[in-house]
Amino acid sequence: MQNFLDPAILFFVFGLLAGAVKSNLEIPQPIARFLSLYLLMALGLKGGFALAKSGLTAEVAVSLGCALLLAVVVPAVGYLLLKRLVSRFDAAAIAATYGSVSAVTFITATQYLGNQGIAYGGHMAAAMALMESPAIIMAVVLANLARQREGSTAHSHSLKAVLHESLTDGAQLLLIGAMAVGLITGAAGEAAMQPFTGDLFKGMLAFFLLDMGLLAARNVGSLRGESPRLLAYALIAPPVHAALALALASACGLSVGNGVLLMVLAASASYIAVPAVVRIAIPEARPALYFGMSLGLTFPLNILVGIPVYTAVAQRVL
């Protein structure tokens, strides 16, 4: 219940309601893009400052290893399940979407942990960046194999081209670059950037979540007529993926804060980076399906219910 008293979450709920009643309220796309870049830059700087304080520890290496493992296992298992419900192309696209991560869900989780006084490592921002690309690469390989089965190579994409596009994505580069700046400048940089990474952060997040609420409400309609089992995947897969991350965190001895963020990363689904790449790399897949599932169902689930539940469970287990 405390999560719903957070202004940023309430603005997300307001966006959902405004979208549901078909209000003409909207955030202009250039502003939404700016807010997204701001949040990534602020998150990267915060992660870099934290890393400058803690240094590269064993937990940093273990956390990154767990993140990489999840980035491979989640889309692989997802594809095996989904290809029984939809075409192989749709299965590959959805698996990539759910195998990758949502930066805004992660940022909201860090804000929630901060409100709860739960410490976490700045290196988890690096874990998020690390989990972005493997699912995309795997999906393109699976789609190319599906084309070979059908005897068609009209839309095949080279792995090199997709790898370059996913690794040089502007948002991801900004996150990594900001982390590097934070790591290099340390405490002095943190003091200088405090108004940018601290005072402004909450308001910018609330503004962006308002836009996400509007988008989520307007994308649910694209799922009408789809298989109930497919829609159930969008709601059941996230907590299952979070449980897998929790098991890894427990086995590897991660702290509560880092365990929660690993769960959030595993449970989230991309609705920006992956759809942008997959729309070009797998044109046979239906964007309304993988985009609608991730933004219309999974994103609200994680923002409203998932983050506080994952935190409560991790506190008990870890």
Which tokens go with 311? 């935190």
Model pTM?
A: 0.88
114: left (phi over 0), alpha (psi -120 to 50) or beta: alpha
Quickly count: other Cβ atoms within 10 Å of residue 276's Cβ.
16
C-alpha 181/C-alpha 245 separation (Å) is 29
* 24 within some domain: no
CA distance between the termini of the chain: 22
- The predicted pLDDT at position 227 comes to 85
The count of domains in the chain is: 1
* 312 within some domain: yes
- The predicted pLDDT at position 166 comes to 60
C-alpha 264/C-alpha 128 separation (Å) is 10
- The predicted pLDDT at position 257 comes to 96
- The predicted pLDDT at position 246 comes to 97
Place of tokens 């991309």: 270
* 22 within some domain: no
C-alpha 208/C-alpha 215 separation (Å) is 11
* 23 within some domain: no
* 292 within some domain: yes
C-alpha 197/C-alpha 38 separation (Å) is 9
Helices (H), 28-151: 29-54, 58-82, 88-99, 103-116, 124-130, 134-150
Full residue range of the structural domain in which residue 64 is found: 2-16+29-317
pLDDT by position in tens, the chain (length 318): 556 668 889 999 999 999 999 999 999 989 988 998 898 899 889 888 888 887 778 888 999 999 999 999 999 999 999 999 999 999 999 999 999 999 899 999 999 999 999 999 988 988 888 888 888 888 888 888 877 777 665 555 565 666 666 666 677 788 888 989 999 999 999 999 999 988 898 899 999 999 999 989 988 888 888 889 989 999 999 999 999 999 999 999 999 999 999 999 999 999 877 877 788 778 888 888 899 999 999 999 999 999 999 999 999 999
- The predicted pLDDT at position 122 comes to 86
Which tokens go with 116? 């709860």
* 170 within some domain: yes
156: left (phi over 0), alpha (psi -120 to 50) or beta: beta
CATH number of the CATH domain containing 172: 1.20.1530.20
